[in-house]
Amino acid sequence: MAPESARTGQRRLLLATDLSARCDRALDRAAILASECSAQLTVVHAFEPDVYAMTRDPRPEPSWRRQPNLKRTIAVKQLHQDLGRLDVPFDLVLEEGSPADVILRTAGKLAGDLIITGIARGETFGRYIFGGTVDHLVRSASIPVLVVKSRARNPYKDIVVATDFSPASRRAIDAAAEIFPNANIMLLHCYASSSLARSISGDLEAGRQIAEDEYKDFINSDPGSAARLAGLPIFIERGSIDCVVHAYAADKSLDLLVIGSQGKNILTRALIGSTAERAMASAPTDVLVVTPTAQVS
> Which residues, in sequence order, are bridge partners of residue 130?
none
All CATH 3.40.50.620 domain ranges in the chain, comma separated: 4-148, 158-290
Q: Give the DSSP letter of residue 22.
A: G
| Percentage of the chain modeled with pLDDT above 90 | 33
pLDDT (0 to 100) of residue 89: 84
* Model confidence pLDDT, tens digit, residues 231-240: 999 999 988 8
- CA atoms in the 13 A half-sphere facing the CB of 172: 34
pLDDT mean over 76-94: 77
pLDDT at 150 over 70: yes
pLDDT (0 to 100) of residue 274: 57
pLDDT mean over 126-151: 75
What architecture is the 4-148 domain classified under in CATH?
A: 3-Layer(aba) Sandwich (3.40)
Instruction: Compare 169 and 128 and report the one with higher pLDDT.
Output: 169
What architecture is the 158-290 domain classified under in CATH?
A: 3-Layer(aba) Sandwich (3.40)
pLDDT (0 to 100) of residue 127: 38
pLDDT band at 112 (very low <50, low <70, confident <90, very high): very high
Query: What are the CA-CA distances from residue 75 to residues 32, 68, 268, 295 (Å)?
Result: 21, 13, 43, 30
Radius of gyration of the chain (CA): 21
What 3-state class would DSSP assign to 97?
A: coil
What 3-state class would DSSP assign to 193?
A: helix
pLDDT at 200 over 80: no
CB 150 within 8 A of CB 181: no
pLDDT (0 to 100) of residue 23: 82
The string over 201-219, giving b where at least 16 C-beta atoms fall within 10 Å of a residue's C-beta and e elsewhere, is eeeeeebbebbeebbeebb
